[in-house]
Amino acid sequence: MITREKQPPNLEMPFGTLDGFITPTERFYVRCHFPVPRIDEKTWRLRVEGSIGRPAQFSLVDLRELPSETITTTIECAGNSRVFLVPKVKGVQWELGAVGNARWTGVRLRHFLEQAQVRPEAREVILEGTDKGTIAEPPRPAGEIHFARSVPIGKAMDDVMLAYEMNGQPLTPSHGFPLRAVVPGWYGMASTKWLQRIIVSDQPFNGYYQTVDYAYWQRGDSGPTLAPLSEMPPKAQIARPEPGEVIAAGSNYLINGAAWVGEAEIVKVEVSIDRGKTWREAKLDDNPQKNAWRLWRMEWETPVAGSYTLMARATDSRGRIQALERNGDGGTYMIDHCLPIEVEVR
């Protein structure tokens, strides 16, 4: 793993090591805003509260007795590929590896909400973590805050999962032990780790990680408005070759990578070796699964010696095509344009 920040741990996978559909837990990126909480599973409880008729608490033993499901979902950090932004912007300088695809086992959030007698005014569900700390830069709230994010009630009732296992094993501390949210199709900040509270709310939640952080300026008729980041737009990334790789001329090189999108399907990946002037279609893996990435590959008969800029671009089932150039509306997030990978053929 590449360490981007030591304390709290922020680690990414060297994306060139991508070698299968499932990202092993030890190579799955770690994003922490505050120190990893040490949680005693015997005393830990998940509380369900807010705009509901029946507040409740659950121990880890309780959770494991509820009907479980397993889903395979890709989670990408909203700042993944930030190092490609010019000029440099604030935030963790992720390359390509703040993304992974894992199997998550747990209980659907819907299950808890159905038991809770949610009031008809309910609009959102806040997922609050145990992790906490203070924010240094204004505009910032005074004192300690917990990491927290919300999802609209519709999404909460649809497919959000509260997971206690990752790839068939209990969550590790840095991946949210004992319980984390998995919000399929959304950027990673929505999938709150170390869950402690599920709060049903009648109001849009304007917490720090929903407004100042992890938000973007959405264009509209009344000017730009601040909106929380949510779904992942279509994105293909090249795993091999890696940036700066040196490749033998006149050989057969297998370009490979992954492509993903939230709430849709990847239907095409194309590759360019001339910085987006011409494109060739890559071969996609069969059996796409909703909200999980698709691996892809393309054979490349390497040309004469020289510098080449490779790019991949994805098309999704809603007809969206990855853009060649950055659209600045995402600010320091949503780096979803075609990323240039410079290589040397010798």
Q: How far is the CB of 113 from its own copies (least distance, A)?
A: 16
Q: How far is the CB of 215 from its own copies (least distance, A)?
A: 7
> Where in 80-99 is the site for its own copies (CB under 8 A)?
89-90
CB 257 within 8 A of CB 238: yes
Of residues 16 and 207, the one with the C-beta less far from its own copies: 207
> Where in 8-27 is the site for its own copies (CB under 8 A)?
none
Q: How far is the CB of 223 from its own copies (least distance, A)?
A: 5
> Where in 108-127 is the site for its own copies (CB under 8 A)?
126
Q: Is 207 in the site for its own copies (CB under 8 A)?
A: yes
Q: How far is the CB of 209 from its own copies (least distance, A)?
A: 10
- CA count, 13 A, side-chain hemisphere, 27: 16
Beta pairing partners, 124: 152, 201
Q: Is 168 in the site for its own copies (CB under 8 A)?
A: no
Of residues 146 and 337, the one with the C-beta less far from its own copies: 146
Instruction: Identify the residue whose tokens are 């440099």.
Output: 88
Q: Is 37 in the site for its own copies (CB under 8 A)?
A: no
Q: How far is the CB of 208 from its own copies (least distance, A)?
A: 7
Site size with its own copies, rule: CB under 8 A: 37
Q: Is 321 in the site for its own copies (CB under 8 A)?
A: no
Q: How far apart are CA 16 and CA 45, in angstroms?
A: 39
User: Angle at CA 14, nearest 5°, toward 188 and 233?
Assistant: 35
Q: Which listed residue (41, 329, 342, 346) binds its own copies by CB under 8 A? A: 329
Q: How far apart are CA 135 and CA 111, in angstroms?
A: 34
Q: How far is the CB of 5 from its own copies (least distance, A)?
A: 20
Q: How far apart are CA 76 and CA 78, in angstroms?
A: 6
Q: Is 131 in the site for its own copies (CB under 8 A)?
A: no
User: Angle at CA 286, nearest 5°, toward 281 and 290?
Assistant: 100
Of residues 215 and 258, the one with the C-beta less far from its own copies: 215
Q: Which listed residue (61, 136, 142, 246) binds its own copies by CB under 8 A? A: 142
The helix or strand, by DSSP H or E, that contains position 158, with its residue range, turns out to be: helix 153-158
Does the bond joining 170 to the residue before it have cis omega, within 30 degrees of 0? no
Q: How far apart are CA 258 and CA 31, in angstroms?
A: 20
Q: Which residues contact 17 (CB under 8 A, 6 or more apart)?
A: 27, 239
The helix or strand, by DSSP H or E, that contains position 128, with its residue range, turns out to be: strand 124-133
| Structure-derived torsion over alpha carbons of residues 90, 96, 101, 102, reported in degrees to the nearest 10 | -70
Q: Which listed residue (133, 170, 332, 344) binds its own copies by CB under 8 A? A: 332
Output the CA–CA distances (angstroms, integers) from residue 268 to 148, 242, 261, 322, in the order listed: 35, 21, 12, 11
- DSSP string over 301-336: E--SSEEEEEEEEEEETT--B--SS--GGGTTS---
Q: Is 128 in the site for its own copies (CB under 8 A)?
A: yes
Q: Is 46 in the site for its own copies (CB under 8 A)?
A: no
Q: Which listed residue (20, 67, 223, 244) binds its own copies by CB under 8 A? A: 223
Structure tokens at 49: 């509260």
Stretch of 101-109, 200-208, 250-258, 287-295 contacting its own copies, by CB under 8 A: 200-208
Of residues 197 and 268, the one with the C-beta less far from its own copies: 197
Measured in residues, the chain has a length of 346
Q: Which listed residue (224, 250, 303, 306) binds its own copies by CB under 8 A? A: 224
Of residues 7 and 222, the one with the C-beta less far from its own copies: 222
Binding site for its own copies (CB under 8 A): 50, 89-90, 126, 128, 138-143, 145-146, 148, 197, 199, 201, 204-208, 211-212, 215, 217, 221-227, 328-329, 331-332
